[in-house]
Structure formats: C-alpha cells, structure tokens
Homo-oligomer: A and B are copies of this chain.
Amino acid sequence: MANLRPAQYAGSQTSRVNLPSYISGYVDGEGCFNVSIAPRKTLRVGWEVRPSLSVSQNGDRSEVLLAIQDYFGCGTLRPDRSDMTLKWEIRSLPLLVERVLPHFEAYPLLSGKQRDAELFSAVCLRMLEGEHLEPAGLAAIVRLVGEMNPSGIRRYSPTVILNSLWEMKA
C-alpha cells in the first residue's frame, strides 16, 4: 500500500503527541472513577470503601491500556468477563494517591467527568487520613460518593449506608 507510511504507524518518532494529555483524553472517553461501598462485618463501621479507576477497550487493541499501565507504573490488565473488552484497573489507595490523583490534577478531564475525578480524589485523600474507619468520617465520604455520577450498579444506596451509620451512633 504505497499511500501508507508505516514509519508513522503506532507511535512514530515524528509524533508530537503529549502522552499525559493523550491519556487524559482517552480516560475521559473510556475511564471510570468508581468508589464501591459494601458491607464488611470485620470493620467497626460495618462498611468497606474501595476506590478504583478502570479503563476499558476492545480486547483486540490493547496498546493504549499497555501505555497507561506503563505510564502510571501500576494497575492490572485483565479481560472483562461480561463483554469482549480488556480492562486496566488500579485499586491500591497509596498508588492512587501517589500516582493517579496528581496526574488528573495536572491534566484534568475536559468533560463533566472531571467532577467525578475530583470527588474521587477527595474520597481517596480522606481515606488516607483514615476517615473511612470512623462513622462520622465514613458518612461524609458516603455523601461525596453520592454526588458522583453512577458508574455501574450501586448495590447499596447512600441512604441505606447513612441509616446504618446513624443506627450505630444511637
């Protein structure tokens, strides 16, 4: 194919792409900031808070997810059983705080999804202070999560969790 210049394909040396900006653009489309809150009897507050950032793409095109994993230097790549996609996911709180949050502060999303990123960031920073382990701190986190765009299924509504914390206090 004479009209194609193979040297330019998939990461040419002449590319002017700024990788951090590219990653933010990709995450704006395909990323999901999520905070799941699920019952955990072994914790005093009765609920476990699990923040995660995941990015999906069709399994036949893994290049960008590999670039994201390499850029952040963390997270796992695995096939999503529910569909034909591959998913990069980071769940480690210390790594989220150390590597992921600063990225989206420097290279924020241009869409309303940035608000999710900021609520997510606020939750992670509060967790770093251990606030999720105290009823009052957890209640504040639950309210922040309640303002995030629903991503996927929420098994427990903020109201259910807040009521259980209220009962605990009584």
Are A1 and B122 in contact, with the CB atoms below 8 A? yes
Chain B residues with CB under 8 A of A9: 108, 114-115, 118
Are A108 and B11 in contact, with the CB atoms below 8 A? yes
A67 contacts B by Cβ under 8 Å: yes
A105 contacts B by Cβ under 8 Å: yes
Q: Is the interface of A mostly helix, strand, loop or mixed?
A: helix
**In the bound complex, CA of A16 to CA of B9 (Å):** 26
Chain A: interface size category: 35 or more
A contacts, CB < 8 Å to B: 1, 3-5, 8-12, 15-30, 57, 60-61, 63-64, 67, 105-115, 118-119, 121-122, 125-126, 144, 147
Say which residue of B17, B60, B107, B121 sits within 8 Å of A108 (CB atoms).
B17
- Listed by A's residue number, 22 A-B pairs whose Cβ atoms lie within 8 Å are A1-B119, A1-B122, A1-B144, A1-B147, A3-B122, A4-B118, A8-B108, A9-B108, A9-B114, A10-B109, A10-B110, A11-B108, A12-B108, A15-B108, A16-B21, A16-B107, A19-B21, A21-B22, A26-B26, A26-B28, A26-B29, A61-B112
Chain B residues with CB under 8 A of A16: 20-21, 106-107
Say which residue of B12, B64, B113 sits within 8 Å of A61 (CB atoms).
B113
Are A21 and B10 in contact, with the CB atoms below 8 A? no
**4 more A-B residue pairs beyond the given contacts A5-B118, A26-B28, A63-B112, with a C-beta to C-beta distance below 8 A:** A18-B21, A22-B107, A22-B110, A61-B111
